[in-house]
A and B are shown apart, each in its own frame.
Chain A
């Protein structure tokens, strides 16, 4: 083979692998993307039962009810709209009423959100960015959400 032919083989092979990769990605994008929604979005966008979404907001105060067999019900709110959620399993360490949460799952026909994953993790000052944005949008953001626990005891810093 000449240098030119060898280079063609290389470039051709490279393009073929790249094409396969692009095809794989497009295919995967079709099935495995989950959109984030606030409770208001769920109503406004008319999200139907069975569509997998991420639902984020605050865990509504005094809404958490523990049921049998590790099931738990609570409501996620963005200040305007509430969506009832049911989840079966052990809640994350930092799941608490009045704090930010993101649940992944789908609505059933009765409008109950069946979550299979609850994200409320990492830090007591943690506020999922999506939740913060959603709260700001609905006008229920309070500046002290993020640094409520971060304030020093002994007065102003810096």
Chain B
């Protein structure tokens, strides 16, 4: 009953999406105010019905209704409550439900909070949002219906894929989707602006908070996925350049570029045409990501099912939306008016530099990810493009960006003083040089370039600090005055500094763990120990333990320092799931500062020995800590009054943006 209700609600939502997609556009063409004002309430209703469908599916999962095929295939009544809930999106159908739920949720947010938007822009944007929603509703209803019943309900479900039975599943997909789908708002506004044929700086002011919010969620989603893979897959890699990961990195890179170009557009009215293109590209990359992950052209933990009909359907959505958007862009973009002038050395110039390198880096990831697919389609040759490709292309493009990053915020608008900025960054450069020397002195081995990587990371971090020091003049003014200035600084300035600081932190983590991480692989018996990086790790014994829907084989280890001091215990586990006839490795982690010890084990051998993989991961936590800083920086900027309160005023002042020529 509940499942049928959900199915019906989803069909109604599809109908509402069609109305929301057509009526407001007709209204803006004919000037019918009633049709224009329909967009917002229909968007709310559409969200209500999608939410109802999602809750119906959630109800089936929580109550373990195995007469629903999707629940039967992906759940089990013995699973803890949290996994019964998260397994909703631990499969193809359910994750698509999450996708449309978030999409319509954003539509509803625009409807509610977009009260200060010009009516026509809002109506058109909501209509575009509804086109996307309609396409995905139809996709779910035709190819991926989660509400299908089994005639004879089985007694017990087939359980969730063991790798997904982890708290990471509660966090990673929703955050990632909030990011992916959040960019749809920028896309819809871009298309709406093109439909209308005019755009002004206020457009950037409306769109920027959405882009920022989506970017923050995507940042956390990627970082969360990376940490999950790190501890779950049992060998401690944090990034694999797997196509599925690249699918999330590409929108992030394009979104980061969009975030920065929108600043130029808002403050200086320049780069309008480029910003619109970036908004289209960013969401297009999100769609391509969805296609890569969901169509089955790639096999990975994320490709839950491979059904050619689905792949072709998503490809169709992709072609229509990306092709349509780019066609519209080519047709209408020349109508948009060019903005302000600026010298190459200026804040605008720095942001253009940022955009140039980010989009080029994004393009190399794009080529590396899609080249194997294209080659296979054309010649039938199957190749894989591995990490070396990305190290050799993405790396060299990202380094100039990092070096230039501290300069950007120090340059003035229109015309900047590069020499002055360099003088102010001298302290940061000195610190970076000290860090390079220190890294050479302290660490033996590792690549020669690694200390320079640390140096760049330190330069970026110190540059962010210098930025704040300069703005508050804390070294030149009396402390109370400087503090007053610090409080008075716009929060977006703090946010920028914090996010840039985070990039430096992440860089140091990546360089540290890649260059100086160490590993031991051995088969050891109880009583044996392994030495790694100042620690001695001893296997005390192996024992069994029962869980709700699994059995554990636990290896108990004791960790000592080289000088004999006891540090603690670690218990890596082999977890066997009888319903799925599989077992997974649950690695044990021990945090030492920002570094970690990492132990994972295999199945015990008959002679009682245990295969052990032991890693020392120096500075590894800084990778995700940096992402936390980026998120916090984004949140600070988002809370800036200028983005919230200030937005409507210039909009009303300029109620009639100058028409396109």
A residues apposed to B, CB below 8 Å? 1, 3, 6, 9-10, 13-14, 17-18, 20-21, 24-25, 27-29, 31-36, 54, 66, 69-70, 88-91, 93-94, 121-124, 126-130, 133, 149-150, 152-158
User: Which 6 A-B pairs give the minimum distances between C-beta atoms?
Assistant: A36-B382, A32-B388, A28-B392, A154-B154, A32-B389, A122-B301
B381 CB to nearest A CB, Å: 7
B271 CB to nearest A CB, Å: 10
Q: Contacts A27-B392, A122-B301 given; indicate if A32 touches B385 (C-beta within 8 A).
A: yes
Contact of A152 among B158, B163, B389 (CB under 8 A): B158
Pairwise interchain contact B356-A14, C-beta atoms closer than 8 A = yes
- Chain B residues with CB under 8 Å of A128's CB are 299
B62 CB to nearest A CB, Å: 21
**Does B152 make an interface contact (CB < 8 A)?**
yes
Q: How far is the CA of A46 from the CA of B582 in the complex (A)?
A: 37
Pairwise interchain contact A6-B343, C-beta atoms closer than 8 A = yes
Q: How far is the CA of A18 from the CA of B284 in the complex (A)?
A: 21
Contact with A along B384-427 (1 / 0, CB 8 A): 11111110110011000000000000000000000000000000
Q: How far is the CA of A23 from the CA of B581 in the complex (A)?
A: 48
Pairwise interchain contact A157-B69, C-beta atoms closer than 8 A = yes
Q: Contacts A1-B343, A10-B344, A121-B301 given; indicate if A91 touches B602 (C-beta within 8 A).
A: yes
- Chain A residues with CB under 8 Å of B306's CB are 129
Contact of B611 among A17, A21, A90, A154 (CB under 8 A): A90
Smallest Cβ-Cβ distance to A126: which chain B residue: B299
- Chain A residues with CB under 8 Å of B300's CB are 122
- Chain B residues with CB under 8 Å of A6's CB are 341-344
- Chain A residues with CB under 8 Å of B367's CB are 25
- Chain B residues with CB under 8 Å of A18's CB are 360
- Within B543-578, which residues are at the interface with A (CB < 8 Å)? none
Smallest Cβ-Cβ distance to A21: which chain B residue: B360
Q: Using A17-B357, A17-B360, A21-B393 as known contacts, list a sample of 16 further A-B pairs with CB atoms less than 8 Å apart, ordered by residue number in A.
A: A10-B344, A10-B352, A13-B353, A24-B397, A28-B389, A29-B385, A32-B389, A33-B389, A35-B382, A54-B382, A66-B605, A70-B611, A90-B602, A90-B613, A121-B301, A123-B163
Interface size of B as a range: 35 or more
Tally of A-B Cβ pairs under 8 angstroms:
134
Q: How far is the CA of A134 from the CA of B303 in the complex (A)?
A: 20
7 contacts between A and B (CB under 8 A): A28-B368, A31-B392, A32-B392, A91-B602, A126-B299, A154-B154, A158-B69
- Chain A residues with CB under 8 Å of B602's CB are 90-91
Q: Contacts A3-B341, A32-B385, A36-B384 given; indicate if A93 touches B396 (C-beta within 8 A).
A: no
Pairwise interchain contact B397-A89, C-beta atoms closer than 8 A = no
Q: How far is the CA of A126 from the CA of B161 in the complex (A)?
A: 11
Pairwise interchain contact B581-A124, C-beta atoms closer than 8 A = yes
- Chain B residues with CB under 8 Å of A89's CB are 521
Smallest Cβ-Cβ distance to A26: which chain B residue: B393
**Does B330 make an interface contact (CB < 8 A)?**
no
**Does B112 make an interface contact (CB < 8 A)?**
no
Pairwise interchain contact B383-A33, C-beta atoms closer than 8 A = yes
Contact with A along B150-164 (1 / 0, CB 8 A): 111111001001010
Q: How far is the CA of A6 from the CA of B361 in the complex (A)?
A: 24
B405 CB to nearest A CB, Å: 16
Q: Contacts A91-B602, A158-B150 given; indicate if A130 touches B357 (C-beta within 8 A).
A: no
Q: Contacts A10-B352, A70-B611, A152-B154 given; indicate if A32 touches B386 (C-beta within 8 A).
A: yes
**Does B523 make an interface contact (CB < 8 A)?**
yes
B539 CB to nearest A CB, Å: 15
Q: How far is the CA of A154 from the CA of B158 in the complex (A)?
A: 11
Smallest Cβ-Cβ distance to B392: which chain A residue: A28
Pairwise interchain contact B581-A154, C-beta atoms closer than 8 A = no
Q: How far is the CA of A21 from the CA of B613 in the complex (A)?
A: 38
Smallest Cβ-Cβ distance to B600: which chain A residue: A90
- Within B288-312, which residues are at the interface with A (CB < 8 Å)? 298-301, 306
Q: How far is the CA of A17 from the CA of B355 in the complex (A)?
A: 11
- Chain B residues with CB under 8 Å of A34's CB are 383-384, 386
A105 CB to nearest B CB, Å: 13
Pairwise interchain contact A28-B363, C-beta atoms closer than 8 A = no
Q: Contacts A9-B344, A13-B356 given; indicate if A93 touches B392 (C-beta within 8 A).
A: no
- Chain B residues with CB under 8 Å of A14's CB are 356
**Does B433 make an interface contact (CB < 8 A)?**
no
B480 CB to nearest A CB, Å: 44
- Chain A residues with CB under 8 Å of B387's CB are 32
Pairwise interchain contact B344-A93, C-beta atoms closer than 8 A = no
A9 CB to nearest B CB, Å: 5
Q: Contacts A28-B392, A93-B585, A126-B299 given; indicate if A152 touches B521 (C-beta within 8 A).
A: no
- Chain B residues with CB under 8 Å of A10's CB are 344, 352
- Chain A residues with CB under 8 Å of B356's CB are 13-14, 17
- Chain A residues with CB under 8 Å of B55's CB are none
Q: How far is the CA of A70 from the CA of B361 in the complex (A)?
A: 40
B81 CB to nearest A CB, Å: 24
B71 CB to nearest A CB, Å: 12
Pairwise interchain contact B396-A24, C-beta atoms closer than 8 A = yes
Contact of B154 among A94, A133, A153 (CB under 8 A): A153
- Chain A residues with CB under 8 Å of B385's CB are 29, 32-33
- Chain B residues with CB under 8 Å of A93's CB are 234, 582-585
- Chain B residues with CB under 8 Å of A28's CB are 368, 388-390, 392-393
Most buried by B among A27, A152, A156: A152
B231 CB to nearest A CB, Å: 14
Pairwise interchain contact B382-A130, C-beta atoms closer than 8 A = yes
Pairwise interchain contact A158-B148, C-beta atoms closer than 8 A = yes
Contact with A along B236-249 (1 / 0, CB 8 A): 00000000000000
Contact of B384 among A17, A33, A121 (CB under 8 A): A33
- Within B59-104, which residues are at the interface with A (CB < 8 Å)? 69, 72-73
Q: How far is the CA of A3 from the CA of B300 in the complex (A)?
A: 50
- Within B320-369, which residues are at the interface with A (CB < 8 Å)? 341-344, 352-353, 356-357, 360-361, 363-364, 367-368
**Does B522 make an interface contact (CB < 8 A)?**
yes
Q: How far is the CA of A28 from the CA of B364 in the complex (A)?
A: 11
Q: How far is the CA of A9 from the CA of B584 in the complex (A)?
A: 55
- Chain A residues with CB under 8 Å of B613's CB are 90
B443 CB to nearest A CB, Å: 25
Contact with A along B597-637 (1 / 0, CB 8 A): 00010100100000101000000000000000000000000
- Chain A residues with CB under 8 Å of B29's CB are none
**Does B580 make an interface contact (CB < 8 A)?**
yes
Contact of B388 among A20, A31, A70, A156 (CB under 8 A): A31
Q: How far is the CA of A79 from the CA of B462 in the complex (A)?
A: 60
Q: Contacts A32-B388, A122-B163 given; indicate if A154 touches B383 (C-beta within 8 A).
A: no
B460 CB to nearest A CB, Å: 20
Q: How far is the CA of A10 from the CA of B386 in the complex (A)?
A: 33
Q: Contacts A17-B356, A28-B388, A33-B383 given; indicate if A149 touches B581 (C-beta within 8 A).
A: yes
B157 CB to nearest A CB, Å: 10
Q: How far is the CA of A66 from the CA of B602 in the complex (A)?
A: 13
Contact with A along B90-125 (1 / 0, CB 8 A): 000000000000000000000000000000000000
Q: How far is the CA of A77 from the CA of B353 in the complex (A)?
A: 52
